[in-house]
């Protein structure tokens, strides 16, 4: 099976992994990003940890789509807080009694490309298990990590992003400004993960919206 040979560094590159066109996005300086989004995006830390500190509780990973090509593992995700259920496990199916239409406090939409060659067999199994946010896995397996933020983005949310953030359809109402970042996680100085991380709009940087397909 083939794998992804070159690292993407644009939002278009990451969306093309899923055969989709990316939403319109503009690179912006940090000072153009409002708070708290600026504090949550302009840093060199794992987003999982940053969001948990901001929201005062653990987040779950919700895998919306995935693709495995050899040692290249790509997935679309949400990081979300569940108001009634405990733990980090959260699937975008009806497995385990978790409905795809349950309402979650969505803290982030993301796309990631993971090079599974640079993680241990144990970490690889956890990543593919899709039950724990990536940041926690890398921290727990004590990989030497460095996170580099390439750019901050102002994004015109597409229909998928609007649904997950609970935003009105395009043209129905004025769209709030949405911001994100492109970043790379290095493990032992080898590029391991390419990331697009997008935050919902609003002063709390969290959206209450249905998760999963409409």
Q: Is residue 4 part of a domain?
A: no
pLDDT in tens, 89-132: 444 443 333 334 456 688 999 999 999 988 889 999 999 999 99
- Respond yes or no on whether the N-terminal peptide bond of residue 36 is cis (omega within 30° of 0): yes
Structure tokens at 101: 């239409």
Q: What confidence category does residue 41 fall into, taking pLDDT thresholds of 50, 70 and 90?
A: very high
Q: What is the mean pLDDT of the chain?
A: 81
Tell me if 80 sits within 8 A of 184, measured CB to CB: no
Number of domains in the chain: 1
Instruction: Please state whether beta strands 72-81 and 178-187 pair in parallel, antiparallel, or not at all (unpaired).
Output: unpaired
Q: Is residue 97 part of a domain?
A: yes
Q: Is residue 5 part of a domain?
A: no
Q: Is residue 6 part of a domain?
A: no
pLDDT at 102: 55
Q: Is residue 44 part of a domain?
A: yes
pLDDT at 4: 44
How many whole angstroms separate alpha carbon 142 and alpha carbon 138?
6
Q: What confidence category does residue 31 fall into, taking pLDDT thresholds of 50, 70 and 90?
A: very high
> What are the residues whose beta carbons fall under 8 Å from the beta carbon of 159, sequence distance 6 or more?
169, 170
pLDDT in tens, 142-175: 665 788 888 999 999 999 999 888 888 776 667 7
Residue 212 predicted with pLDDT over 60 = no
In which domain, by residue range, is 119 found?
11-210
Percent of the chain with pLDDT over 90: 43
Q: Is residue 1 part of a domain?
A: no
Percent of the chain with pLDDT over 70: 76
Q: Is residue 184 part of a domain?
A: yes
CATH code of 105's domain = 3.40.1410.10
Q: Is residue 74 part of a domain?
A: yes
């Amino acid at each position: 099976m083939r794998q992804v040979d070159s690292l993407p560094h644009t939002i278009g590159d990451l969306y093309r992994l899923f055969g989709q066109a990316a939403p319109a996005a503009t690179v912006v300086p940090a000072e153009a990003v409002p708070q708290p989004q600026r504090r949550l995006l302009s840093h060199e830390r794992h987003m999982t940890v940053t969001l948990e500190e901001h929201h005062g509780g653990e987040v779950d990973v919700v895998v919306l789509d995935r693709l495995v090509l050899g040692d290249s593992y790509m997935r679309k995700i949400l990081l979300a807080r569940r108001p009634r259920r405990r733990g980090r496990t959260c699937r975008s199916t009806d497995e385990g009694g978790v409905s795809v239409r349950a309402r979650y406090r969505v803290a982030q939409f993301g796309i990631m490309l993971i090079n599974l060659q640079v993680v241990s067999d144990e970490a690889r199994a956890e990543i593919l298990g899709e039950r724990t946010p990536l940041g926690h896995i890398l921290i727990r397996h004590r990989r030497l990590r460095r996170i580099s933020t390439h750019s901050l983005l102002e994004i015109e949310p597409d229909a998928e992003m609007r649904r997950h953030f609970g935003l009105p359809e395009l043209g129905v109402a004025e769209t709030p400004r949405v911001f994100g970042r492109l970043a790379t996680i290095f493990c032992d100085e080898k590029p391991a993960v390419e990331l697009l991380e997008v935050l919902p709009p609003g002063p709390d940087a969290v959206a209450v919206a249905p998760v999963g397909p409409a």
